[in-house]
């Protein structure tokens, strides 16, 4: 029966119709009569949905592509090769994401679409077409040209799929979304309809239709700088109720607590890891704290204890000398060459918290992270209602649609606060006491934060798009693919650059002078940082695919290879 691909490189489900050429050696394996070669669509669907999350999420040992991209987007810092933009085609996490999304997701989606259509189970077919369009779009956004038209076509004799031009794939995805919407709303007989096996929306036709339209909006926004899509965007937004229009309509992959199987968010792995290698980026932390000198200065974000959990208390001694400490927060820099970069901080390093990965809410008490620190049941967020509002704020700001960008930004950030509470209460369900972060009272921390942010928005007209994209980046912590896309097409948010003399004068960056109350009270030293690689405009293709597929291109140069929608 189908199994989920984890660590073993070539252990593949019996039913999968393989997309990559390295599977040719499996074609001669005899059929095992003791194992089924076909599963009902109702059993395939939840596995597919879960594997989309696994392929895209971050996680220190079995996570997907966000483990690389969260470092590239400066929400995570690490000692691994994605530090300083160094991920190659042999990178472990690229080697997890590519096969997971092709073999465990797209191949099985093709099977569901065929079987469901033949059986007139149109809702399953519609859901699968929406998921196929979304997954393929994420692959295009990350890699550019990918196998698409010839992928998963072994039944037609195609063993080595060509790589399609990325610009030619996007229109097919919009057509596929329309086909999915038509199937979802097909009044013809549905022999079987999804229910609890659809772990995203429980089979809701209305919510799936809204998700499909919102995915379409996102794709149109992403390619708007290379194609005139204003009319299409205007038509989609003519009736906002046809898109994701409420917090509980957000497009999420749920994860569960550890039970008979370990269903926790892959990003929760650092709570149980014997060697913690994921660090929360000081750049990300500094913006949340209000330390950044150019944006949100002096405006601390009330979501910080939901985003980051500190194992230390304010005055507790760490495992060893730290590189960056600010009270209880401990981390390392991107591109660090400092003497304390590689010191073990197993029980000291700060971790992603309750909102991104289902970890612990930071109540200031500290404590070594463990398997019982949280539930790990935070969802992977594909597209939220807040994301939709941020897209509209961007469109208004750039004059694509009418409206008030400031008002829409306020709505988006307010919704982002609501979303934190929704994830905590509806999904994570912590055992500790966690306060609400959304509070509309004028004196609340949320209201003060948003009021200050909007005042800054008015005061800095040349930085208004930066404000919109920075807030979207803050809201989407833990889900880094769209962050990476947004940065490459808009140039925002501003990222840490060791070569920028304003950020690292003389190649050194200064942690908070008085941030270390234990090891260096009053004199935390500066840290040398370097960067010799330019920012990657796409990720390298999975090297094993290139080596085994004679129709694959030569490996790209990521710093010069643009995805088609880049201006």
pLDDT recorded at residue 277: 84
pLDDT greater than 60 at residue 560: yes
pLDDT greater than 60 at residue 128: yes
For the four alpha carbons of 432, 438, 443 and 446, in that order, the dihedral sign comes to positive
Phi-psi group of 290: left, alpha or beta (phi > 0 → left; psi -120 to 50 → alpha; rest → beta)? left
Q: Which structure tokens are listed for 7? A: 């660590």
Mean pLDDT score, 66-93 = 96
Cα 79 to Cα 417: distance, rounded to the nearest angstrom: 32
DSSP 556: P
pLDDT recorded at residue 262: 86
Residues 33-66: pLDDT tens digits? 444 456 799 999 999 999 999 999 999 777 799 9
pLDDT recorded at residue 37: 54
Q: Which residue has the higher pLDDT, 199 or 32?
A: 199
Phi-psi group of 472: left, alpha or beta (phi > 0 → left; psi -120 to 50 → alpha; rest → beta)? alpha
For the four alpha carbons of 370, 374, 379 and 383, in that order, the dihedral sign comes to negative
Residues 499-531: pLDDT tens digits? 999 999 999 999 999 999 988 777 899 999 999
pLDDT recorded at residue 38: 67
Q: What is the mean pLDDT of the chain?
A: 92
Tell me phi and psi for residue 40, to 5 degrees: -65, 150
pLDDT recorded at residue 14: 33
Mean pLDDT score, 268-286 = 94
pLDDT recorded at residue 487: 98
79, 342 Cβ separation under 8 angstroms = yes
Task: Classify residue 4 as exposed, middle or buried by CB count within 10 Å of its CB (0-12, 13-18, 19+).
Answer: middle
Residues 405-422: pLDDT tens digits? 999 999 999 999 999 999
320, 343 Cβ separation under 8 angstroms = yes
Cα 353 to Cα 338: distance, rounded to the nearest angstrom: 26
pLDDT recorded at residue 207: 98
Mean pLDDT score, 176-204 = 94
E strand map for 210-335: 251-253, 278-280, 308-309, 324-326, 329-331
Question: Residue 331's closest CA among 386, 284, 263, 401?
Answer: 284
**330 three-class SS:** strand
pLDDT greater than 50 at residue 112: yes
pLDDT recorded at residue 63: 76
């Amino acid at each position: 029966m189908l199994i989920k691909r984890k660590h073993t490189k070539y252990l593949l489900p019996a039913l999968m119709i393989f997309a990559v050429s390295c599977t040719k050696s499996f074609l001669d394996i005899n059929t095992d009569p003791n194992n089924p070669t076909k599963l009902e669509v109702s059993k395939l669907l939840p596995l597919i949905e879960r594997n989309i999350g696994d392929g895209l999420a971050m996680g220190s040992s079995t996570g997907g592509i966000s483990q690389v991209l969260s470092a590239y987007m400066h929400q995570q810092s690490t000692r691994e090769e994605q530090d300083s933009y160094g991920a190659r085609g042999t990178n472990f996490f690229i080697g997890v994401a590519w096969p997971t999304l092709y073999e465990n997701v797209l191949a099985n989606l093709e099977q569901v679409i065929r079987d469901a259509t033949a059986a007139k189970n149109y809702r399953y077919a519609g859901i699968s077409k929406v998921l196929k369009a979304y997954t393929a779009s994420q692959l295009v956004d990350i890699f550019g040209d990918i196998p698409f038209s010839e992928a998963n076509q072994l039944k037609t004799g195609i063993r080595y799929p060509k790589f399609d031009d990325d610009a030619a794939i996007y229109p097919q995805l919009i057509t596929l979304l329309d086909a999915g919407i038509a199937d979802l709303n097909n009044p013809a007989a549905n022999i079987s309809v999804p229910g609890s096996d659809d772990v995203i929306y429980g089979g809701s036709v209305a919510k799936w239709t809204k998700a499909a339209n919102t995915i379409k909006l996102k794709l149109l926004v992403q390619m708007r700088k290379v194609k005139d899509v204003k009319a299409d965007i205007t038509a989609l937004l003519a009736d906002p109720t046809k898109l994701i229009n409420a917090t509980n309509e957000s497009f999420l992959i749920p994860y569960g607590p550890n039970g008979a199987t370990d269903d926790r968010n892959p990003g929760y792995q650092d709570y149980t890891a014997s060697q913690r290698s994921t660090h929360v980026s000081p750049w990300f932390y500094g913006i949340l704290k209000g330390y950044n000198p150019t944006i949100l200065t002096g405006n601390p974000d009330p979501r910080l204890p939901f985003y980051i959990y500190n194992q230390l208390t304010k005055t507790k001694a760490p495992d060893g000398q730290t590189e960056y400490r600010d009270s209880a927060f401990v981390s390392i820099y991107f591109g660090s060459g400092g003497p304390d970069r590689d010191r073990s901080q197993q029980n000291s390093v700060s971790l992603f918290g309750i909102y991104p990965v289902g970890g612990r809410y930071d109540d200031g008490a500290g404590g070594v992270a463990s398997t019982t620190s949280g539930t790990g049941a935070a969802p992977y967020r594909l597209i939220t209602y807040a994301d939709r509002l941020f897209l509209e704020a961007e469109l208004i700001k750039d004059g694509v649609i009418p409206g008030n960008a400031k008002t829409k930004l306020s709505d988006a950030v307010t919704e982002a606060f609501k979303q934190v509470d929704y994830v905590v209460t509806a999904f994570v369900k912590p055992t500790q006491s966690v306060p609400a972060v959304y509070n509309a009272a004028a004196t609340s921390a949320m209201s003060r934060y948003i009021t200050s942010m909007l005042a800054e928005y008015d005061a800095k007209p040349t930085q208004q798009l930066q404000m919109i994209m920075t807030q979207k980046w803050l809201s989407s912590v833990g889900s880094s693919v769209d962050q990476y896309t947004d940065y490459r097409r808009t140039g925002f948010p501003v990222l840490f650059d060791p070569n920028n003399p304003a950020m690292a004068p003389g190649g050194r960056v200064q942690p908070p002078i008085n941030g270390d109350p234990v090891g260096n009270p009053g004199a935390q030293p500066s840290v040398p940082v370097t960067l010799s690689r330019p920012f990657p405009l796409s990720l390298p293709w999975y090297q094993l695919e290139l080596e085994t597929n004679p129709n694959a291109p030569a490996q790209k140069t990521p710093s010069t290879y643009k995805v088609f929608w880049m201006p």
